Amino acid sequence: MLQVEDLHAGYGTSEVLTGTALTVKQGTLVALIGANGAGKTTTMRAISGGLKPSRGRVVLDGQEVQGLDASRIARLGLAHAPEGRKVFGPLSVEDNLLLGAYGRLPRFFGFRAKAQADLDRVYELFPHLRDRARQAAGTLSGGEQQMLAIGRALMARPKVMLLDEPSMGLAPVIVQEVFRIIRRLKEEGITLLLVEQFAKSALEVADYAYVMERGRIAVEGTPAELSRNERVIAAYLG
């Protein structure tokens, strides 16, 4: 569903990604782990178009998307819940969710009716958000904002969803809640690429995982394989 080949990207003259390659098959959850600064978030940004790759290919559902605008890639079926959540603070929770479905809703009138089924689904998944539907997203707690960011990405009915550090800065009990949601998404058959600092938790939910080091994939395998890899254990699971 999502295939990345020989991806090079960076900021200015410094190249962060030096040939990243990964594959996310339909209906699977793939985890991308690695130390801070290894290039995980940069990989996500280069896939979703926030950063233009200088070399390499990104294939989404059979179509090459590298170099396209982020908005274009999003409309082709890639939803990216970015690091730091990036909810639209001044807008209401419900408006945030509606904008998640922007690509397939009418621009002027009748968009709410058309999105109602998706809204109900997200509210069922995150009952808190229904209670706060009219509240400005910026006033939510960190955990609620993360739920909103995931819900917003779901609204797009994406072919592939990228989740970047969904547990960042959250209390342990909320982190558990986040992973419960991720499991639920996986059960619903959503294709997911997850970047996580909690390597252990990520490997518990993932079908396949990549370990990044210095801008490229150092090790890859099923969680069972990686859990036996001494290098991985020493660096990330110890």
Partner 1 sequence: MDPSIIGQMAVSGALMGLVYALIAYGFQLTYATSKSINFGQGELVMVSAFFSLTLTNLGLPYWLMVPGGLLFGALMGLVVERAGVRLALEQKGEGWILLTIIIGLFFFSAAENIWGRDDRPFPTPISADPIHVLGVDVTRLELSVAVGVFAIMGLVELFKRRTLLGKAFEAVSADRDAAELMGISATRTVMLSYGLSGSVAALAGILVSPITTVGPTMASALILKAFAVAVVAGLDSGFGVVLIGMFLGALESLASFYLGSGWREAPGLVLLILALALRPTGVFGKATIRKV
Contact positions vs partner 1 (CB under 8 A):
48-50, 69-72, 74-75, 79-80, 82, 86-91, 95, 98-100, 102-103, 105-109, 111, 152, 156
Q: How far apart are CA 23 and CA 184, in angstroms?
A: 22
CA angle 72, 185, 76 (to 5 degrees): 15
Is 34 or 100 the residue whose CB approaches partner 1 more closely?
100
Is 192 or 211 the residue whose CB approaches partner 1 more closely?
192
Helix (H) or strand (E) holding 43: helix 40-48
**Smallest distance, Å, CB 159 to partner 1?**
13
Q: How far apart are CA 103 and CA 74, in angstroms?
A: 8
Q: How far apart are CA 26 and CA 28, in angstroms?
A: 6
**Smallest distance, Å, CB 78 to partner 1?**
9
Residue ranges of alpha helices (H) inside 49-170 are 70-75, 93-100, 111-125, 127-131, 142-155
CA angle 3, 181, 36 (to 5 degrees): 55
Q: How far apart are CA 93 and CA 208, in angstroms?
A: 33
Cα torsion 39, 44, 47, 51: sign:
negative
**Smallest distance, Å, CB 155 to partner 1?**
9
Is 87 or 175 the residue whose CB approaches partner 1 more closely?
87
Is 10 or 111 the residue whose CB approaches partner 1 more closely?
111
Is 40 or 80 the residue whose CB approaches partner 1 more closely?
80
Is 55 or 75 the residue whose CB approaches partner 1 more closely?
75
- Per the listing, tokens 């390659």 go with 21
**Smallest distance, Å, CB 67 to partner 1?**
14
**Smallest distance, Å, CB 4 to partner 1?**
17
**Smallest distance, Å, CB 74 to partner 1?**
4
